[in-house]
Amino acid sequence: MPPLRVWVNYEPKIYTDIFKQVFQSMCQVEIVEQTPADPGFNSNGDEHTGVDVVLLSLDGLDQSKPELNPEILGQAKVLAFSPRGDFGLRRMPGKANWEEVRPFGLKQLIDELTAA
């Protein structure tokens, strides 16, 4: 079974670093490094095959973020949640609607990743 490919684009960035460390300690999770200018490539410039899960800060759903490639988001499970852990949104691959998840803490995040 190939590893789960996860792209973390979370604000504030300190949370991104923590999530990456937690996920990398889990087996079968690969953190995909993407740049805003070219989300189809990883940090080494190699083309990747896609992203399974995208993590966003809740306010990251604003359309003013140009680095969010609709092609990647449409094929991935997208999780957006508050840093307070009280509220989260989940959008399944290929779906347009969001599901509310309350509360949304680290346990719920790990559960969402293991279910992907």
Q: How many domains does the chain have?
A: 1
pTM: 0.78
Q: Are 88 and 81 in contact (CB under 8 A)?
A: yes
Biggest CA-to-CA distance, the chain: 38
Nearest to 112 by CA among 97, 90, 95: 90
Q: State the average pLDDT for the chain.
A: 76
Q: What angle do CA 36, 41, 47 make, to 5 degrees?
A: 170
Strands of the 4-9 sheet, one edge to the other? 29-31, 4-9, 53-57, 77-81, 88-91, 99-101
CA distance 32 to 34: 6
Q: Which domain holds residue 71?
A: 4-115
In the chain, the percentage of residues whose pLDDT exceeds 70 is: 72
| For residues 17-33, average pLDDT | 82
More confident residue, 63 or 21: 21
